[in-house]
Structure formats: C-alpha cells, structure tokens
Amino acid sequence: MKKIQILGTGCPKCQQLTENAEVAAKEAGFEYVLEKIQDMNDIISFGVMATPALAIDGEIKSSGKLLSAEEIKALF
C-alpha cells in the first residue's frame, strides 16, 4: 500500500494536487492512504520550503509545483 502525502496549507493548488494524486493512484491501480499535512512545522520538518509538495512513502517527490495525474503516476 502506498502512502501519499500532500504538504500544503490548503490553497487551491494543494487541493488540486490532492485530486490529481487520487486520480493517479486509482488509474495506476494502487491501494493507497492519502494524508494531508497542513501544519507548517510538519511541512518544514520534511525540508519543504515551497508548497504544494508531494511525498510518496515518506519521500518528497515534488515541491513547489502542481503536478498532473500523469506526472504523479510516473513517480510511482
């Protein structure tokens, strides 16, 4: 099971990244758990300085840009 984490304050780009990540995981056929991390201290603890950010299984895969579902699938 994949753990997908969206790091951001809840802005429109963060919300879109969440939707795109869900679409990507479903299209790829993965079982997944989605976690939104909105606390700035938690975001900083990942070493992220720009949001939205995407982590898969605890590893930051993207920071500071909105990825499409296709781009996210390529990261799995």
Say if domain 2-75 classifies as CATH 3.40.50.920.
no
The predicted structure's pLDDT at residue 30 = 87
46-65 confidence digits (pLDDT tens): 999 999 999 999 999 999 99
Beta bridge partners of 2: 32
Q: Hey, where are the domains in the chain?
A: 2-75
Beta-carbon contacts of residue 33 (< 8 Å; ≥ 6 apart)? 1, 2, 3, 4
pLDDT of residue 42: 96
Place of tokens 């879109």: 16
Q: Which of 4, 6, 7, 14 is catalytic?
A: 14
In the set 3, 9, 10, 11, the catalytic residue is 11
pTM above 0.85, yes or no: yes
Is residue 11 annotated as a catalytic residue, yes or no?
A: yes
pLDDT in tens, 7-46: 999 999 999 999 999 999 999 998 999 999 999 999 999 9
Is there a catalytic annotation at residue 15?
no
